[in-house]
Structure 1
Amino acid sequence: MLDFDFYSPEEEIVLPLYEECGIRVFVKRDDLIHPYISGNKWRKLKHPLEHARKENKSLLVTFGGAWSNHLLATACAGAKFGFRTYGFVRGDVVENPVLKLCQLFGMELHFVSREYYRDKKALFYTHFANSKDAYFIDEGGYGLLAAQGCSEVINELNGRYDHCFCACGTGTTLAGLAIGINNRQWPTTLHGVPILKGGGFIRDELTKLGVVNQAQIRLHLDYHFGGYAKTKPELIEFIKAFTRQTSLLIEPIYTGKLFYTVHHLIAQKQIARGSTVLVLHSGGLTGLLGTLNRF
């Protein structure tokens, strides 16, 4: 087992809208797990890193865009747990604070064209087929072991909630939460907020990741604000107001869209009075570094 103690409490946030609608909203503060191995990034890395260690692998190879929280989390985790790290970065050679941090933690970066980046397995085998030390970790940590780590959120909760919300990129976190809820046989409605346009593909990903029963899952496909890393003025204004009112820092890529969705559904009376709601804060606050000019 990896030697890593972390702190992720449940914290209630009280806003006039929630009180008016008779709804209690709690946040699972996975953003407090670690400054860089943050939120669902730790959840998704935990079991792959344990597996890599059991397999006597010493080099973690993974993938991401130029502002990838996953690349940064993997780089930091490698430094913490004694792995070398290598990151394939999608697109032209650039410099930014996130990639600089990756390098500070010891990650070797390799920029590749978007065309070559599409086939990640091919990239891995082209460069590391003869390496006995290399261990493949998919973009965003996607995979069955990652979903297993995310499922453990449910066992940490102090009680059962009527609704549980999370942001969705690859669908791994949502799959893990679904598995955890199904294992506990809770009647909780699980809500996924895809941050990509056309997020309906998440249903297929849930099946691939072992979610047999999707009856309790609702996908909210209209809160992507134009697609990945896209924003609109109303999202930015919401984030500014929410952060001022709650002291809870969120960003426009994932968690801003997530909390906007929760707020909007409550305002539209789509959550019943008397309900308890849990929102998973999945961390990734370094995403703010690439978006501060929008504020």
Structure 2
Amino acid sequence: MFEEIYSAVQKITFAPFNNLSVKRDDLIDPYISGNKWRKLKYILAKAEEEKKTHLVTFGGAYSNHLVATAAAASRSGLTATAFVRGEEVQNEMLLLCSLFGMQLIFTDRESYRDKQKLFQQHFADDEKSYFIDEGGASPEATIGCAEIIRELTETYDHIFCAAGTGTTAAGLLKGIQQHQLNTKLHIIPVLKGGSFIEDEIVQHTPLSDHLNLHLDYHFGGYAKITPELISFIKNFTSKTGLLLDPVYTAKMFYAIFDLQKQGIIGKDEKILAIHTGGLMGLFGMRDKF
């Protein structure tokens, strides 16, 4: 199911942004979109190589990763189970997971912390089950994300990407290093204290001067938003027609806007923003708009 695919690069004309293009990975697939497609591509290849037929993964109630894994499993003739963090709820995301055939196991937050233990408790005797970490974090995922750089037909002074775990960031940095580019990679952690992402990246590829972490655009932490960010999203989308999710991509675009306003990014420098999809996360924020 993971055939070769190249997402379009779209030039954005929207003041005050200058020389801004967007790699539209959000258009890859409606359910396995963006970096979720990139991450799962080689994870599923490894599962198939090991003759696994049951995918087991983890996420919150509004996890795009859970929807992507459920869709990928059903299209590949596999079964899937997800440990869902927190109390039992019903929402649009989990409905999609169920429709794709995924079994949902709601798990208290303390037990959820030890994912390997949960896997062992439920599936230790099942040789066909394959462990996929939260968000798809894995060496295989970084290989898929590195392919973003290979697909580019132009060079850029700066590439921007939002980050939660650092897996996509590691793949992008690896791709820049492999292709010996001079491009600066700007990572926007969406959690407070996002400096830990460097530790995650170094597990997959060496750090270099290409990497820049910007730690001040989390807007309060993971899945936290402010009236300022909401206003930015509404204005950006109404003027460009490009949807942003409040958890990741909106914070990335705001960071680009702010860094250009400060003069840290020059107005004539070419910028590429990676749209990592995840737009169904908007459902979890509908009361904020």
Report the TM range for the smaller structure's normalisation.
Answer: over 0.9
Alignment check: 8 A CA contact 1:7 1:32 kept: no
Question: Structure 2 CA distance, aligned partners of 1:46 and 1:12?
Answer: 27
Q: Report the equivalent of 1:239.
A: 233
Q: Report the equivalent of 1:147.
A: 142
Q: Report the equivalent of 1:84.
A: 79
Q: Please, which of 214, 218, 224 is the counterpart of residue 220 of structure 1?
A: 214
Q: Please, which of 114, 117, 124 is the counterpart of residue 112 of structure 2?
A: 117
Q: Report the equivalent of 2:56.
A: 61
AA of the residue aligned to 1:269: G
SS of 1:286's equivalent in the other structure is helix
TM-score norm. by structure 1 comes to: 0.96
Alignment check: 8 A CA contact 2:2 2:41 kept: no
Question: Structure 2 CA distance, aligned partners of 1:231 and 1:274?
Answer: 30
SS of 1:17's equivalent in the other structure is coil
Q: Report the equivalent of 2:189.
A: 194
Q: Report the equivalent of 1:282.
A: 276
Q: Report the equivalent of 1:132.
A: 127
Alignment check: 8 A CA contact 2:19 2:267 kept: no
Give the 5 Å matches for 1:254-273: 254-273=248-267
Question: Structure 2 CA distance, aligned partners of 1:63 and 1:146?
Answer: 15
Identity rate of aligned residues, in percent?
53
AA of the residue aligned to 1:13: I
SS of 2:23's equivalent in the other structure is strand
Indicate whether 1:35 and 2:30 are aligned. Answer: yes
CA pair 3-181 structure 1, distance change in 2 beyond 3 A = closer
Question: Structure 1 CA distance, aligned partners of 2:248 and 2:42?
Answer: 23
AA of the residue aligned to 1:122: K
Q: Report the equivalent of 1:184.
A: 179
- Segments of structure 1 that go 5 or more residues without pairing to the other structure are none
State the Cα RMSD in Å: 1.0
Question: Structure 1 CA distance, aligned partners of 2:221 and 2:2?
Answer: 37
Q: Per-residue deviation at 1:220?
A: 0.7
SS of 2:144's equivalent in the other structure is helix
Give the 5 Å matches for 1:146-165: 146-165=141-160
Question: Structure 2 CA distance, aligned partners of 1:12 and 1:3?
Answer: 26
Alignment check: 8 A CA contact 1:171 1:206 kept: yes
Alignment check: 8 A CA contact 1:46 1:146 kept: yes
Indicate whether 1:102 and 2:97 are aligned. Answer: yes
Q: Per-residue deviation at 1:81?
A: 1.2
Q: Report the equivalent of 1:13.
A: 12
TM-score norm. by structure 2 comes to: 0.98
Indicate whether 1:230 and 2:224 are aligned. Answer: yes
Q: Report the equivalent of 1:45.
A: 40
Q: Report the equivalent of 2:163.
A: 168
Q: Per-residue deviation at 1:125?
A: 1.0
Moved over 4 A (4+): none
Q: Per-residue deviation at 1:5?
A: 5.2
Q: Per-residue deviation at 1:160?
A: 1.0
SS of 1:27's equivalent in the other structure is strand
Question: Structure 2 CA distance, aligned partners of 1:207 and 1:274?
Answer: 31
Alignment check: 8 A CA contact 1:147 1:175 kept: yes
SS of 1:291's equivalent in the other structure is helix
Question: Structure 2 CA distance, aligned partners of 1:177 and 1:115?
Answer: 33
Comparing 31-40 with 261-270, which one deviates more in the overlay? 261-270
AA of the residue aligned to 2:206: V
Q: How many residues align?
A: 289
Question: Structure 1 CA distance, aligned partners of 2:269 and 2:253?
Answer: 16
Question: Structure 1 CA distance, aligned partners of 2:267 and 2:28?
Answer: 32
Q: Deviations over 1:17-67 (max 9, x none)?
A: 13xxxx310000000000010000010100010010111100000000010
CA pair 95-213 structure 1, distance change in 2 beyond 3 A = same
Q: Please, which of 60, 74, 77 is the counterpart of residue 69 of structure 2?
A: 74
